[in-house]
Amino acid sequence: MNVLLFKRGGVKHFIRRKLWEPVLNLVKQGITPHQLALTLTLGAGFGMVPFLGLTTVLCTFWAVRLRLNVAFTILIGYLMQPVQLALYVPFVDLGQSIFPMTPIPFSLEKLIAMFKADWVTALQQLWLANLVGIVAWLLCFIPFGLAMYFSSRTVLHRVLPVRQVA
């Protein structure tokens, strides 16, 4: 395989042909700058929801509802998963500071002790903490989404070619 990669144009050619061009073709499937900006915004925003597994459902629902490119929206959401994991605790902490509730400890030892003491109460507290984290995400997503949509739409209007009406 290594010999084939170098004989036919190298690793750069292989990556461009097998990764970059299919993604670009996916993006360019009859989509306007408005739709592409909305796809990027929703994919990035829903990719940061502090609830593991909800990204796919949200991306699919809103992409179908708004007639966007579903596959590209989900791809953007999945690419945001490292950010989702990095922002999980800050969103939950922000939600716990907005709403009057007992803060959840995020150390492994304290979580294990919570579950050993009473696992039903621990699950209820974690569920509530996750819920206020989602509310905090929503409050942050509104200005982030607006800024990302309008800035990316402006850039995409300059970059993408204008389709001619027949």
* Predicted confidence (pLDDT) per residue in 125-138, tens digit: 889 999 999 999 99
| Residue range 96-127, pLDDT digits in tens | 999 988 888 778 888 888 889 998 988 898 89
CA gap 68, 129 in Å, rounded: 32
Q: Which residue has the tokens 């909800």?
A: 54
Please tell me whether residues 126 and 54 are part of one structural domain: yes
Range(s) of the domain holding residue 1: 1-30
Please tell me whether residues 14 and 39 are part of one structural domain: no
Please tell me whether residues 46 and 97 are part of one structural domain: yes
**164 lies in some domain:** no
CA gap 44, 47 in Å, rounded: 5
Please tell me whether residues 77 and 129 are part of one structural domain: yes
84: which 2 tokens? Answer: 């989702």
Prediction pTM value = 0.76
Please tell me whether residues 20 and 64 are part of one structural domain: no
**146 lies in some domain:** yes
Please tell me whether residues 87 and 154 are part of one structural domain: yes
Q: How many domains does the chain have?
A: 2
Please tell me whether residues 59 and 138 are part of one structural domain: yes
CB-neighbour burial class of residue 74 (10 A; exposed 0-12, middle 13-18, buried 19+) = buried
The model's confidence at residue 163, banded by pLDDT at 50, 70 and 90, is: low
**127 lies in some domain:** yes
The answer to whether residues 75 and 63 touch, using CB atoms and an 8 Å cutoff, is no
Could you tell me which residues come within 8 angstroms of residue 77 by beta carbon, excluding any fewer than 6 positions away? 43, 44, 46, 47, 55, 56, 58, 59
Highest mean pLDDT of the ranges 15-19, 106-110, 162-166: 106-110
Find, among 64, 78, 73, the residue nearest to 39 by Cα: 73
Please tell me whether residues 22 and 37 are part of one structural domain: no
The pLDDT mean for the chain works out to 85
Q: Give residue 103's pLDDT.
A: 84
Q: Give residue 136's pLDDT.
A: 96
Please tell me whether residues 9 and 48 are part of one structural domain: no
The model's confidence at residue 83, banded by pLDDT at 50, 70 and 90, is: very high
Please tell me whether residues 5 and 44 are part of one structural domain: no
97: which 2 tokens? Answer: 């500071």
- Backbone CA torsion sign across 21, 23, 27, 30: positive
Please tell me whether residues 73 and 150 are part of one structural domain: yes
Q: Give residue 100's pLDDT.
A: 85
Please tell me whether residues 67 and 130 are part of one structural domain: yes
